[in-house]
A = this chain, B = another copy of it.
């Protein structure tokens, strides 16, 4: 099941990256770089921090083929991706939810504690987007008042762990974790739920 989730995380993240990159008018190399960074960045950091070898995209080489093929298609025929771009929040929220859950689950497999596993989920879910912003030299979303993002991954990771302990099976736990992250993120966008700034 984690394999399917990881596969979907790669595809939705790559689509998100391609929409971003074609919007900015990058060439095919730029589109491939941004798509790869967003699709593989978070999972790579997770694997390096946990010392999981080989890295997930070396172990599943078809991920690389798919992302590069999508990037080439997206460069040549950006129209369907532009259409998707109007619903950009969707692949972004899907990638966040799916990648965060793989982070938690793989960290537990490596013997990490609950707290470390939750943090690994948040890092895996959010890091690709952070690197992409740094590469694009944008004002990091950390510094703009933005609807909940890392917070969704954090709460959903705990929900997944909590339901795991109830013994209803891994599938139910993953479904609950996914729903919490995905719905919380879409809700935060819809109603602009924003954390207050530290009041100095």
A residues adjacent to B (C-beta < 8 A): 21-31, 33-34, 44, 48-49, 51, 53-55, 58, 61, 64-65, 74-76, 78-79, 82, 112-113, 115-116, 119, 130, 134-140, 142-143, 145, 149-151, 194-200
Residues of B within 8 A of A55 (CB): 49
Q: Is the interface of A mostly helix, strand, loop or mixed?
A: helix
State whether A30 touches B112 (Cβ < 8 A).
no
**Of the residues B24, B151, B197, contact of A143 by C-beta under 8 Å:** B24
Determine if B195 and A27 form an interchain contact, defined as CB atoms under 8 angstroms apart.
yes
Is the beta-carbon distance between B26 and A143 smaller than 8 angstroms?
yes
Write the chain B residue with the least CB distance to A54: B51
CB pair B198–A115 under 8 Å, yes or no, is no
Residues of B contacting A24 in the complex (Cβ-Cβ under 8 angstroms): 143
Which of B51, B64, B116, B151 makes the CB contact (< 8 A) with A61? Answer: B116
**Residue contact B78 to A198, C-beta cutoff 8 Å:** yes
From known contacts A25-B197, A51-B53, A61-B115, infer whether A140 and B150 are also in contact, taking CB-CB under 8 Å: no
Q: Which of B44, B49, B78, B116 contacts A49 (CB 8 A)?
A: B44
